[in-house]
Chain A
């Protein structure tokens, strides 16, 4: 899917003169990904969660994936949709990040509670966190200079 539409874009790009390039995507909106692991530390007898660099990560650890967006252009953009395929090695931890989820590889998005998946014998069951394959944020408009961070948390399977 991705490679099939790559080639025409490549063809257009190479056919354009160099001077026609200033208005391209990364000049308008920057996306910057980050990941941290949730660690529990004990301070003065109290347990507290903190985010740490993702080292010594093992199954069961909770990861926080963040995508920072920044409209660096001079004009607003609309219908700003950020799609994030979940790595297969993680299981979504919660749906509190203001996103819709997909359990079918990104075809249909919605609230987790509204989605079903087929079980082995073909009947539908309610979708669970572990079924989520993609998540998607939708922001109607990004003003010039607007920035923010989109995050989701997931457990290492």
Chain B
């Protein structure tokens, strides 16, 4: 009788233990869980109802090694200007914490060009965005931190374009491979004692590795264009507009930048026409006067011509330069 009581107590304890472990079942039973089964019989032996319990059989759930990987980029990532940041997500579809070795391979069949892998990093601050110098770098073939069962980790792969000309629309793929650190192999491969809590680790249907491609595209952007429009207005000493000796000619040059991006080091220069004389101090930029001397502002004026340094000009902007000459 004492034995029977002890067994009843043991089975009640077993049930309580299993119930406590319930929350972990979302991703499959957690590695290390004990599955315990006890049957109980009641029967009538003619003197009353008797109850007996079976022994409790127990199965330990071992660690399942599984992983999936998915590109998080909705479309090919454009090189900007010569690097692309690819985003991947690794999911531990096993039932215990596991780390994964990562290998980014820029040489994929069908590539128009192959990139160079600058860096692999994981989203250590969890904001979903690559933060250089903040997100932790993982060496090629190196391991992620341990990812809990059913949890994900965001991985960034930074790839740069090769030297040499690319054609508009050229694409490239980068393959990212994740392999369980404990080991990989055909489903059912076991690694004795290497699972959670000394359990065995068993490879699942994913073979404990997963890889996928991220896409990069080169979008050719034509350089911006600069147009110059020059006009002249004559005013003669008599209040008219006759081109007679002594008349003043005002030249207007409008420089406009069109397209995408900006131009740098833009200078507007012009020579003084033959048989005319530069009118000292007449140089203007966008209706503001410039001195003739060099070095004090962006303009230089004199007998050899004018030179206005517009520096960096973004597309969509225009600047107007004027200067006067008198007809000899």
Contacts and interface: CB of A to CB of B under 8 A. Distances in A.
Interface of A: 2-3, 6, 9-10, 13, 21, 23-26, 28-35, 37, 54-60, 63, 65, 67, 69, 73, 75, 77-90, 142, 150, 156-157
A56 B45 contact: no
A88 B21 contact: yes
Most chain A CB atoms below 10 A, which of B29, B51, B56:
B29
Interface in B34-51: 35-47, 49-51
29 contacts: A10-B5, A13-B5, A25-B50, A29-B43, A29-B52, A31-B41, A31-B53, A31-B55, A33-B37, A33-B57, A35-B35, A57-B59, A57-B60, A58-B62, A60-B28, A63-B35, A63-B59, A69-B41, A75-B45, A77-B46, A77-B50, A79-B44, A82-B39, A83-B41, A84-B40, A85-B15, A86-B37, A87-B37, A156-B35
A112 to B, nearest CB: 19
A23 B42 CA distance: 15
Contact of B62 (A13, A57, A89, A142): A57
Contacts of B3: 26
Contacts of A83: 39-42
B103 interface: no
A59 B29 contact: yes
A24 B1 contact: yes
Interface string B4-35: 11001101100100110110010011000101
Given A31-B53, A35-B37, A89 B21 contact: yes
A143 to B, nearest CB: 12
Nearest to A84: B39
Contact of A24 (B4, B59, B63): B4
A59 B95 contact: yes
Contacts of B45: 23, 28, 73, 75, 77
Interface in B62-116: 62-64, 95
Most chain B CB atoms below 10 A, which of A57, A75, A150:
A57
Contacts of A3: 9, 12
A28 B50 contact: yes
Contacts of B50: 24-25, 28-29, 77
Interface residues of B, number: 52
A84 B29 contact: no
A25 to B, nearest CB: 4
A28 B48 CA distance: 13
Contacts of B64: 58-60
Most chain A CB atoms below 10 A, which of B38, B51, B59, B202:
B59
B200 interface: yes
B317 interface: no
Given A31-B53, A75-B46, A157-B29, A58 B61 contact: yes
A54 B39 contact: no
B326 to A, nearest CB: 92
A55 B204 CA distance: 15
A75 B44 CA distance: 11
A63 B58 CA distance: 11
A34 B36 CA distance: 10
A123 B243 CA distance: 98
Contacts of A88: 18-19, 21-22, 25
B203 to A, nearest CB: 9
Nearest to A30: B52
A157 B25 contact: yes
Contacts of A65: 37, 57
B190 interface: yes
Given A6-B9, A35-B57, A88-B22, 20 more contacts: A2-B11, A3-B9, A6-B8, A13-B2, A23-B47, A25-B4, A26-B4, A29-B50, A31-B52, A32-B55, A57-B35, A58-B28, A58-B62, A58-B64, A60-B64, A77-B50, A81-B42, A85-B38, A88-B18, A89-B61
